Chains A and B, each alone.
Chain A
Amino acid sequence: MNKKPIISFPHLGDYHIPIKFLLGHLTSYEVIEAPPITKKTIELGTKHSPDFVCVPFKYNLGNFIETLDAGANILIQAGGGCRYGYYPEVQEKILKDLGYNFELLTLGENGHVYLKHIYKMMKRINPKTNIFKSSYYGIMTILMVRFMDEIDKIIRKNIGFEKEKGSFTTLKKEMLDDFSSCKNIHSLIGAYHKYKKEFLMLPIDKPDNCLKVGIIGELYTSMEPFSSYFLERELASMNIEIKRFTNVTYLLFQKRLREKKMLKYIKDYCKYTLGADGMDNVYRTKYLIDNDYDGIIHIKPFGCTPEIGAIPIIKRVCDEGKIPIIYFSFDSQTSEIGIKTRLEAFYDMLKIKKGR
């Protein structure tokens, strides 16, 4: 490539911050973020995607097109244990057919993300990488992701009850800015503890018997708020405490370690894993029932095969545990009003039930 290399990657919630941080420290190349997801992103993605592909593919493709237009020429894509595993190849083909000139690098193979593979990839885009520096920033990024996920847990618990509207969102933005400007692990840990304290001190007005709802389902729609029409924000505005399991920390580290334990917990329902997060969601359903949650919201992209496989099992667990559940399937054409109506009815149902 004779042009100046510029690296870019698709969006996933707030994780563009640690990804950019890591890439920024590992290569001497320029790193740019894809423009934030908007309606235009998904329109572009939908236009050039197969109609029946799951919706994260369309979002990712839209991100790629927008970032290529902004000048990027090296793209990074991950991959996972379902259709996600085919994303890089298919997207590369579509974009090349559209006439873009770029190189696409993947973070893993056979549906798994390996650190070794990432290092190999880094070596390719920056031969001067040294393993100690890479490891240091790798660890720092992992810590950053972990801290973000921990803080998010606190936020989800309390944001529905904030006394001053927007206080959590403002503080989070401040925290993310601080995190990305940290120079070393020491200052990152310091910043984490400082913000954790601040988040816990934000004034809230939370009743003891507030409604508690768990969000389970496919990973992209769980982690990218745009793709679920800001479901969590909507729930927070109804004064609901939210529990969500899926985050990057979970996917990278906890998932594989907990698999056996989870299968044992749900041995009455599942004997083996269902692909992607299918089995995990059966486990979560049972967990939410056993921990006295009021309701469950299951979200997935339209046509998500692992989740479709898990739904009948989840239904049975919910029937036996007598917990209300609703299912949402998201696609680029989903009616936002329809989702709001169902969500409102769900809220009414939980509230009347709890009032009894």
Chain B
Amino acid sequence: MNAYLGVDIGSISTKGVVIDEENNILASDYIWTKGNPIDAVKRLMNSLKDQVDNDRVKIIGIGTTGSARKLIGSMLNATVVKNEITAHAIGTLSLYPDVRTIFEIGGQDSKIILIEDGIVTDYAMNTLCAAGTGAFLSSQAERLGVAVEDFGKIALTSQKPTKIAARCTVFAESDLVHKAQMGYKKEDIIAGLCNSVVSNYLNNVGKGKKIYSPIIFQGGVSKNVGVKKAFENEVGTEVIVDKNGHLMGALGVAILSKNATNKTNFDFSMADEEFETKGVECNGCSNHCEIICVSKNHQMIDSWGNRCSKGDLINKKKSHY
């Protein structure tokens, strides 16, 4: 049976799926990146390998997305390397063909994707600010001494959410400390934080966009029921969170690799191979481009980061547009 692998590697978590020709998920996993994408992908491959029947399933397409898509694409010898906006839209559309709006809040960025008749018509990604992303929520959870997994449940118990400045992470944080010292209840502060994430999102990323339902909310933060509730209060309609919401990017890029013309033959052996990255500074001019070289078993397989042809170490593969 032919199968396709999709890997979505973000700053906080790494997601992988294996799908068959009908987009059914044969195997999936969700692990922490822990600042080491190479290691995370190896762990992911080991986990996926155990989940699929290796004699029956043949992986012939590989797609990567997420902020480390290039590095991982080169490691896995991917057939498709796609940005996360397109990947999320494709993945979500495969499950919800009539979706109109996708809210996505991840570890270090957040985006909104607007869809009409099954095609993306508009999107935005947060540009300048990390407020309201998963990383911010988890650091604040730690400050309050609450596990980030329980954050949402605690928020739901609040009767009277506290107002917390939503403009910016720095203000939100100092406001939060201030409110805690004033004696506000913990659950009210947590609920207030969820509200501030939502209003920050709608004011920054969703600014000026017309939001129609059905709305799908995904990304790591969608697992937080407090934020989901806050979204529903703010936009006034139901917000859908899929149980596989965290896998949409990986699913989308797996589907893209299914539709792509170039095919490969993949066994999970790369998990045992040795990968190394090295930063080299080019001294061709005063730009000092930092070139990243990726080597596999001490042999260079790819490099990028240079602005002109002077720093070309090996001929680059044709980019996958």
Contact = CB atoms under 8 A, between A and B. Distances in A.
A312 B119 CA distance: 24
A324 B287 CA distance: 34
B208 interface: yes
Contact of B286 (A39, A342, A345): A39
A329 B83 contact: no
Q: Secondary structure of the B side of the interface? A: loop
Given A38-B285, A39-B288, A341 B123 contact: no
27 contacts: A35-B286, A36-B285, A38-B287, A39-B287, A39-B288, A40-B287, A230-B307, A324-B121, A324-B122, A338-B125, A338-B127, A341-B85, A342-B125, A344-B82, A344-B86, A344-B321, A345-B85, A345-B86, A345-B123, A348-B82, A348-B83, A348-B120, A349-B119, A349-B121, A352-B119, A352-B120, A356-B119
A353 interface: yes
Contacts, number: 58
Interface in B55-70: 67
Given A324-B121, A344-B86, A345-B86, A38 B286 contact: yes
B268 to A, nearest CB: 28
Interface in B76-98: 82-86
Nearest to B120: A349
Interface string A118-159: 000000000000000000000000000000000000000000
A338 B288 CA distance: 20
Contacts of B86: 344-345, 348-349
Contact of B208 (A230, A237, A315, A338): A315
A338 B319 CA distance: 17
B120 A341 contact: no
Interface residues of A, number: 25
A337 interface: yes
A238 interface: yes
Q: Secondary structure of the A side of the interface? A: helix
Interface residues of B, number: 22
A347 interface: yes
A329 B127 contact: yes
Nearest to A345: B85
A102 to B, nearest CB: 22
Given A324-B122, A345-B123, A40 B83 contact: no
In this complex, the member of A40, A341, A342, A347 whose beta carbon has the largest number of chain B beta carbons within 10 angstroms is A341
Nearest to B117: A356
Given A39-B287, A344-B85, 20 more contacts: A35-B286, A38-B285, A40-B287, A41-B286, A237-B319, A312-B208, A338-B125, A341-B84, A344-B321, A345-B83, A345-B120, A345-B123, A347-B321, A348-B82, A348-B86, A349-B119, A349-B120, A352-B119, A353-B119, A356-B119
A353 B114 CA distance: 13
B288 A344 contact: no
Contacts of A230: 307
